[in-house]
Structure 1
Amino acid sequence: MKIWLRHFIKHRDTALLALALLFLLGAILRPSIPFKHNIYAYFLVADISQSMNAEDMMLHGKKVTRMAYMQNMMHEVVASLPCGTKVSIGMFAGNSVAAMYAPIEVCRNFAAIQDTIAHLDWRMAWSGNSRVRESLFVTAKVVRAMPEPAQVLYFTDGEEAPKLHAFNTKNLDEFQGGDDWLFVGIGTDEGVAIPKLSQDNQVIGYWSNESFAMQPGIAQISESTLGVRDDNVAFGDHDRYVSKLASEYLENLTKEIGAKFIKGDSTYTVLKAMKEQKPARRDIAPLPLDWLLASLAGLCILATYASHHPWRQIKQNLHLYRREIQSRFFVKSEAVAHDNHFQ
């Protein structure tokens, strides 16, 4: 061992360069080792029902719709996720939830994900109703159909239209899913009217109170006769339906399925709640070692430029610098004194 050490010290530069070459060749092969770690994947469900057009949110000092506020929050959430995280975007309307695509890696597909969020619109809805409770079963099916598990983030104001009563409230006792889901409440407790918009996004009126009532004459409750929202429009303030964030309803709903509800007051609040969620799964993935080998090669190359006696070399350099400064200072002082004497 001592012989090898003496040989290395004698031919240090050659040995270091040889090691650097070996490390670089190893890095080119891109080796990896199996490593068990957490896999984070999220299914972001956006409520695109017409109650999300209500203007009761503040963004950058201006009053905006719940939809615009939700989109901005989703943009910021996606932008804050670390590389390796997977994201899918879904839409909720009626009693259904549809996924735009399976979870995809956030950094490689950042522009596509942000573009999907930017183009969310109430006109994409396939139903005028808003049945959050009914949609939970569909959401669970969509998540189970994905190629890998994903945690659900549900952005909604919790508005049920038509309103629920004893006969049309779905029983959730046998619901499977919802464990550790996160519901983000979008809206305020103030209460505002819901504008009724044309296909050109022009306000043509406001939804009336009758719009959120069950249609008369429905005797039996089934999947096809759950009740549809009346298309009446309010003509005055007195008959407009006032929409609020259904905080208490969402709180009770999430407790029934083992989920969590938070108000979407800020992106920080949402990100903090997401960190408390369990990872979607734990799996064995390859941990690349090429960066480590390349770093070792760089250190070996740098070491060839280091002196055999670095501290001695530093002292010598400092001594030389000090002598040079002293010589320049004294030469300048003598020159000034000589000029003054001559005058």
Structure 2
Amino acid sequence: MNIWLRRFIKHRDSALLALALVFLLAAILRPSIPFKHNIYTYLLVADISQSMNASDMTLRGKKVTRLEYMQNMMHEIVASLPCDTKVSIGLFAGNSVAAMYAPIEVCKNFAAIQDTIEHLDWRMAWSGNSRLRESLFVTAKVVRGMSEPAQVVYFTDGEEAPKLHAFNTKSLEEFQGGNDWIFVGIGTEEGVAIPKLSEDNQVIGYWSNESFAMQPGIAQISESTLGVRDDNVATGEHDRYISKLASEYMESLTQEIGAKYVKGDSTYHVLQAMKSQPPARRDIAPLPLSWIFATLAGLCVLGMYASRHPMRQIKQNLKIYRQEIKSRLFTKSEAVAHDNHFQ
């Protein structure tokens, strides 16, 4: 062992160069080892029903709609997710949810995901109603139909339109799914009117109280077949329907299905809730080792330029620096004395 160590010290530069080449070749081969790790996949469901056009949220000191606030929060969440996380964007309207695409890796497809969020619009909705309770069955079916398991993060104000009563409240006793889902409440409890917009996004009135009412006995039939809201427009403030964040309703709903409710007043709180979710699945994936060999090669190259006797070299450098400082000070003092002599 001592013989090999002495030979290495004697031919240190050549040995380090050879080692650097070996490590570089190893890095080029891109070796890896199997590693079991958590895989996080999310279906981010965006409520695009017309109640999301209510302006009761504040963003950067400016009043914005719930939809705009939700888009900003989704942008921030996607930007905060680590690489290898997969994301799909879903749309909620009427009594159903539709996924826009299968889950895709967030870093490789970052621009595409953010562009999808940027172009969310209430005009993409296929129904004027919003039946959150009934949409849960469709959401679970969408998740089961994906190529891989996914956790659901549902952004909504919890508005049920038309309002629920004994005739149109769907039972969740047979519901399968919802475990560890997150419902994010978008909106405030101050209460604002819901604007009715034209196809050009111009306000033409406000939704009336009658728009959210249905006659008992025909609610189930109307919702399952027509799925449209009463088209009345309020003419005065006393006729307008006042929309609020349905926090109590969503807390009750999430308890029924084993999900979690988070008020969407902070992106940080939503991200913390997402971190508490169990991973969508665990799988074996290759753990790359190239960076380790590349680092070792770099250290070998640096070692070639290091002194054989580092402490001796440091002492010599300090001695040279002291001598140089003394010489400069001596030269400066002589120059000052010379100037004083001639004055």
Does the 8 A contact of 1:51 with 1:243 survive in 2?
yes
Does the 8 A contact of 2:52 with 2:66 survive in 1?
yes
Identify the residue that residue 60 of structure 1 maps to in structure 2.
60
- CA-to-partner distance for each residue in 1:254-306, whole Å, 9 max, x for gaps? 00000000110011111111111111111111111111110100000000101
**Partner SS state of residue 152, structure 2:** strand
Identify the residue that residue 160 of structure 2 maps to in structure 1.
160
Does the 8 A contact of 1:211 with 1:231 survive in 2?
yes
Identify the residue that residue 248 of structure 1 maps to in structure 2.
248
Give the CA deviation at 1:341: 3.6
Identify the residue that residue 27 of structure 2 maps to in structure 1.
27
CA RMSD of the aligned region, Å?
A: 1.6
Map 1:279-290 → 2, pairs under 5 A: 279-290=279-290
Identify the residue that residue 265 of structure 1 maps to in structure 2.
265
Give the CA deviation at 1:2: 2.0
Map 1:300-315 → 2, pairs under 5 A: 300-315=300-315
Does the 8 A contact of 2:34 with 2:287 survive in 1?
yes
| Residues 1:39 and 2:32 are matched in the alignment | no
Map 1:134-149 → 2, pairs under 5 A: 134-149=134-149
- 1:216–1:257 distance in 2 versus 1, CA, 3 Å: closer
Give the CA deviation at 1:335: 3.7
Moved more, 213-222 or 300-309: 213-222
Identify the residue that residue 85 of structure 1 maps to in structure 2.
85
Give the CA deviation at 1:217: 6.5
Does the 8 A contact of 2:34 with 2:285 survive in 1?
yes
**Which AA in structure 2 matches 1:282?**
R
Does the 8 A contact of 2:94 with 2:227 survive in 1?
no
**Which AA in structure 2 matches 1:10?**
K
Does the 8 A contact of 1:218 with 1:227 survive in 2?
no
**Which AA in structure 1 matches 2:261?**
F
- 1:268–1:213 distance in 2 versus 1, CA, 3 Å: same
Percent identity, aligned pairs only? 84
- CA-to-partner distance for each residue in 1:146-202, whole Å, 9 max, x for gaps? 111111110000011111111211111121111110000011111111111111111
Map 1:191-202 → 2, pairs under 5 A: 191-202=191-202
**Partner SS state of residue 319, structure 1:** helix
Does the 8 A contact of 2:45 with 2:153 survive in 1?
yes
Give the CA deviation at 1:331: 2.8
**Unpaired stretches in structure 2, ≥5 consecutive residues:** none
| Residues 1:174 and 2:174 are matched in the alignment | yes
**Which AA in structure 2 matches 1:192?**
V
Does the 8 A contact of 1:214 with 1:229 survive in 2?
no
- CA-to-partner distance for each residue in 1:125-150, whole Å, 9 max, x for gaps? 00111000010011111111111111
Distance 2:121 2:175 in 1: 29
Identify the residue that residue 2 of structure 2 maps to in structure 1.
2
**Partner SS state of residue 58, structure 1:** strand
- CA-to-partner distance for each residue in 1:177-231, whole Å, 9 max, x for gaps? 1111000001111111111111111111111111111147728758735864211
Distance 1:211 1:176 in 2: 32
Equivalenced residues, count: 343
- 1:340–1:196 distance in 2 versus 1, CA, 3 Å: closer
**Unpaired stretches in structure 1, ≥5 consecutive residues:** none
